[in-house]
Structure 1
Amino acid sequence: MKTRLFIWILLPLMLLQSFSTVWLWTVFELNRDYIARYECINRFNDNALACRGQCILMKKMREHEEKEQKNLELRIIDVVFINNTQDFTFKNTALYEDTVERLLPVYNEDYSYNPIFTIFHPPLV
Structure 2
Amino acid sequence: MPLRLISILLISVMMYKPILCTWTVVDFAMNRDYIAAYLCENQDRPELECQGKCFLMTKLKKQMNDSRQHKAKQLTQLSKIEVMSLHAASKFAFNNSGFISIISSADPNTHTGYLAGIFHPPIV
TM-score w.r.t. the length of structure 2 is 0.59
* Deviation by residue 1:88-117 (Cα, 9 ceiling, x = unmatched): 89888xxxxxxxxxxxxxxxxxxxxxxxxx
One-letter amino acid of the counterpart of residue 52, structure 2:
G
* Consecutive unaligned residues in structure 1, runs of 5 or more: 93-125
CA deviations over 1:9-68 (Å, ceiling 9, x no partner): 2221221223322221111112111100111111233333x1000110111011111101
Structure 1 equivalent of residue 90 of structure 2: none
Aligned to 2:5: 5
Q: Tell which has more relative contact order, 1 or 2 (C-alpha 8 A, sep 6+).
A: 1
Q: Which is helix-richer, 1 or 2?
A: 1
Hey, what's the Cα distance between the residues in 2 that align with 1:86 and 1:37?
Answer: 58
2:53 aligns with 54
Structure 2 stretches lacking a partner, 5+ long: 86-118
Partner in structure 2 of residue 107 of structure 1: none
Which structure has more strand as a fraction of its residues? 2
Find 2:83's aligned residue among 86, 91, 94: 86
* Residue equivalent to 1:63: 62
TM-score by length of 1: 0.58
Q: What is the distance in 2 between the residues matched to 1:21 and 1:75?
A: 21
How far 1:3 sits from its partner (Å)? 4.2
Q: Moved runs in structure 1, 4+ residues, more than 4 A?
A: 87-92
For 1:86, give the aligned amino acid: V
